[in-house]
Amino acid sequence: MPATLILPLLGLALAAALWAAATLLLANETPILANFAPAEAFRALSRLAVDPVMWDHVGVSLQRVAIGLAAALAIGVPAGILTGVSRVFAQTTTPLFQFLRMISPLSWMPIAVMVLGVGDAPVYFLLAFAAVWPILLNTAAGVAQLDRNWLMLARSLSATRAETLFRVVLPGIVAHILSGVRLAIGIIWIILVPAEMLGVSAGLGYFILDARDRLAYPELMAAILVIGALGFLLDYGARWLYQHWLHKG
């Protein structure tokens, strides 16, 4: 085993031991808490791992992440470029964006459901609304930090506006966009579970509430483990993309 893995694994093992000790102690007072012990959770997890219904829930959640992220990119990147290029646009929108950014996206939930109806649409809206800010702000910062010499080079080649945008500006800000994406994925993943607790009938957030209602506490704990693990993997993937791009630069 690589030496760099020893300490992280030790940390995880310690956390599991604490978890086991806590459920053991508390179960003396409240017997139902024995259901939340790690042994129960991992047994449920191994059962759920081969259950297609569970995979459906995971698939639905990941699809929502993808759609929310795509919408945030489609809005955040052009708006970020506009902010970086146009002083007027930046000055007009900065206070508004800073204001909107600080509102927890879940605050919009009642309005989103009233306007968009029950179902997937309000969830997409909340995820995109939460994720658009880090992408927008990072894109704008990327444009502001573009090497002036690259733009001069494009001018010396008589590049058209479109050529400058697609061959110099966009590739030049990919690293910034990717670090925005990494932040966005983190936010989306945190917003996703509570957003899925309202008005939808699939997804990991729904599964948590459903497990609670069925009194299937080991499954509830297993779902928490799945949420943590998937979030870890998503973040790892985003970081890999970022470093893979920077490796060239």
Partner 1 sequence: MNAPQPLAPPPGTDAAPETVLGAERLSFAYARSGPVFADVSLGIRRREIVCLLGGSGCGKSTLLRVLAGLETAAAGTVRFLGQPLTRPHPRSALVFQQASLLPWLNVFDNAGFGLGFKHQPAIDAAARKARVREALAAVGLAGREHAWPAELSGGQAQRVALARALAREPELLFADEPFSALDAITRAEMQALLVDVVHRWQAAVLLVTHDIDEAILVADRILLMAGKPGHIHRAWTLSIPHPREDHPEAVTALRLQILSALRAGNAATAPHAIPS
**DSSP labels, 82-111:** HHHH-HHHHHHHHHHHHHHHTS-GGGGHHH
User: CA 72 to CA 126: how far, in whole Å?
Assistant: 10
Stretch that binds partner 1, among 80-88, 121-129, 163-171, 177-185 (CB under 8 A): 163-171
Cα-only R_g, the chain: 22
Q: Which of residues 117-136 bind partner 1 (CB under 8 A)?
A: none
Minimum distance from residue 244 beta carbon to partner 1 (Å) = 11
Contact 197, 205 (CB under 8 A): yes
Query: What DSSP element (H or E) covers 64?
Result: helix 52-85
Stretch that binds partner 1, among 52-60, 80-88, 105-113, 171-179 (CB under 8 A): 171-179
Binding string, residues 229-248; x marks residues near partner 1 by CB under 8 A: ----------------x--x
Q: Which of residues 172-211 bind partner 1 (CB under 8 A)?
A: 172, 174
Helix axes 3-29, 38-49, angle to 10 degrees: 110
The reply on whether position 165 binds partner 1 by CB under 8 A is no
Task: For residue 217, give the DSSP letter.
Answer: H
Q: Which is nearer to partner 1, 53 or 162 (CB)?
A: 162
Minimum distance from residue 162 beta carbon to partner 1 (Å) = 9
The reply on whether position 161 binds partner 1 by CB under 8 A is no
86, 94, 107, 160: residue in contact with partner 1 (rule CB under 8 A): 160
Contact 205, 224 (CB under 8 A): no
User: CA 244 to CA 241: how far, in whole Å?
Assistant: 5
4, 28, 30, 156: residue in contact with partner 1 (rule CB under 8 A): 156
What angle (nearest 5°) sits at the alpha carbon of residue 228, between those of residues 117 and 240? 100
What angle (nearest 5°) sits at the alpha carbon of residue 189, between those of residues 188 and 193? 105
Minimum distance from residue 74 beta carbon to partner 1 (Å) = 22
- Using CB under 8 A as the binding criterion, the count of chain residues that bind partner 1 stands at 20
The reply on whether position 159 binds partner 1 by CB under 8 A is yes
Residue 223: CB atoms within 10 Å: 28
Stretch that binds partner 1, among 27-35, 65-73, 124-132, 169-177 (CB under 8 A): 169-177
Q: Which is nearer to partner 1, 108 or 245 (CB)?
A: 245
10, 49, 157, 215: residue in contact with partner 1 (rule CB under 8 A): 157
13, 20, 39, 152: residue in contact with partner 1 (rule CB under 8 A): 152
Contact 109, 166 (CB under 8 A): no
* Binding stretches for partner 1 (CB under 8 A): 147, 149-150, 152-153, 155-160, 163, 167-168, 171-172, 174, 245, 248-249
